[in-house]
Each structure stands twice: as C-alpha cells, then as structure tokens.
Amino acid sequence: MKYIDSFCEYLKNQKNYSDFTVLNYRKDLEEYFEFLNDKKYSYSDMDYKKCIDYLLFLDGKQLKKTSVSRRLSSIRTFYKYLVLNSYVNNNPFLLVSSPKKEKRIPKFINYQGIDEIFNIPNTKTPEGQRESVILEVLYGSGVRVSELVNIKLKDIDFNNKTILIFGKGSKERIVSFGNPAKDAMNEYIKSGRELLLNGVKSEYLIVGKEKESLTTRRIEQIIDSLITKTSIKINITPHMFRHTFATHLLDQGCDLIAVQELLGHESLSSTEIYTHVSNEHLREVYLKCHPRSTKGE
C-alpha cells in the first residue's frame, strides 16, 4: 500500500491533524487499496469508470451517505497529496461527486442540564479542578475536543481572556472565555495541575496523572463519568458542548457571522444549521409563554 505511511505523516506533521483523524484516513485508504488489489487495479491508473466501480463497491457495503462521503474525501485528499508530490499526474476522484448529505439538526444541552453538569466536579481535588476546566473551556469557548487537548499554557492570554487555537489544517483562530473559565483555569494551574503531574514537565493545559497531556478518548471518559452523576438521561458527548455553545449564543441574539468566526467554520453554511435549533427553541418559548400563541385552538 504505497505512500500511505508518508501521507499519514504529512497529515500529522504538516496539516496538524489529530491522531484520531489520521487513523480514519489510514483505515479508509487501506480499504481502498484492498479494493484495488481485488480488482487488480493500480492506484496510479484510475479513471472515471474505475472510480465508479469503487462507488459500486461501497454501495454493496450498504454504508450511510456520510460514511461514503468520508471515504471519498479521504481518497481525494490522498490523490491531492500524490499529485502535489508528482507521484501521479491527476486526481481521478475529482470527477466523482459525493452523495448529498442529509442535514442533521445538532443535539445540544439545555440550560438546566448545563447547570447540573457544572455543579458535579469537586474542585477541592486535582481531578475535580481539571474536570471544571474541561467543562468551562469546552462550553465557554466552543473549541473541539481535539483542540482542547492541544492547548498549551503559552496559548492562553489571561489578561484579554483569549486562547490561540490551532484548528483543522493548522488554521489559527482566537477564541474567548469568560470569568468562570478564567477562575477555574487559575485555580487548576496553581494547584491541581502540578499535583497531577507530580514532577513531570508539560506545556499543555490539560494533563493526566504523571502524563504530559490527555487524549481525546480520555476526555470522553471523563465527560461520561460526570454525566452518570447527573439526572440527565440522554447521551452527552464532548462535541455536544460545542453545539451547545453555538446554540446558546444564537439564543441570546449573537450574530451568525460572529458564531462562525468563534467556531472556526470556513463556510457560513456549516454554522447556519444551528439557526434551525435556535429558531425551534424560540418557537417553543413563544408557544409556551405568549398569552395569544394558542388562542382559538
């Protein structure tokens, strides 16, 4: 499976993709090369007809549209890398359209749920202080979990209450945080963080017991553990705090363009999906609270 290793190194070191993202690219490409071997096709000799054969192969696996789109995106990016390095002459998958995505309304946590979750961490312990920081930064700034684990102390500007974030594709953006996050981070950095490190040196904000940093999977486990201590019955993922951040900003009248910038979305269409959630919430508030909303029924 030629060039997969060098491509994954390129994604990790030059594009700054997370280990999890790089692993997904690798899995998609390994599957693609298995298809090529079965068909006795060469990666360097693909044309439109052979690409359609690959689509038929995927169709036979009865995958969701999002899974098919992800695989096609992985392969397009792989061929873009090959063209960039003159390993092939063209990118045959540019001719192949991805299936239209079904827009799914993002799930978010209501205000009551947020309050309940934030009351769970025991900030008298190092672990509790870390939990509080994780919650405050995820919800207070809208960063991705992969961005959270890569925040370094030098990236935080406590005076202006901003964090320099290195997002997808090594793109930088500045996110803001409020006083609760500032207080939580200050307390954690002064005491809990050092106790967790136990002499180990680290430049990262979120650390583990004698570990320089935490993985996204460990953050998921921490969130899961916190949710089990609440009355919340729905499945809460770390990414839902990002959805909640955007939804609550729009609920409070924040400008859509501003939310786009804070989330680091390239396209406004990626942000617009949150307006559906926010508008539905406002409709529910209207129907519940306005004295003439149900008159005549």
Q: How far apart are CA 250 and CA 244, in angstroms?
A: 10
In the structure encoding, which two tokens stand for residue 191, read together?
């005491």
Q: Is 290 a catalytic residue?
A: no
Output the CA–CA distances (angstroms, integers) from residue 133 to 56, 185, 202, 213, 235, in the order listed: 47, 6, 17, 14, 21
Compute the distance between CA of residue 32 and CA of residue 42 in angstroms, rounded to an integer.
11
What CA–CA distance (Å, rounded) separates 245 from 278? 11
Q: Catalytic one among 144, 193, 243, 248?
A: 144
The single residue of 50, 70, 168, 182 carrying the catalytic annotation is: 168
Which among 17, 25, 32, 274 is annotated as catalytic? 274
The count of other CB atoms within 10 Å of the CB of residue 172 is 10
Q: Which of 76, 107, 265, 281 is catalytic?
A: 265
Q: How many CB atoms lie within 10 A of CB 228?
A: 9
Catalytic residue among 130, 193, 242, 248: 242
Tokens of 21: 């993202």
Q: How many helices (H) and strands (E) does the chain have?
A: 13, 3
Is 144 annotated as catalytic? yes
Spot the catalytic one: 12, 15, 107, 239.
239
243: annotated active-site residue: no
Distance CA 20, CA 159 (A): 33
Residue 69 has a CB neighbour count (10 Å cut-off) of: 16
104 catalytic residue (yes or no): no
How far apart are alpha carbons 244 and 159 in whole angstroms?
Answer: 26
Q: Is residue 232 within 8 Å of residue 180, measured between CB atoms?
A: no
Of the CA atoms within 13 Å of residue 202, those in its CB half-sphere come to: 24
Residues known to be catalytic: 144, 168, 239, 242, 265, 274
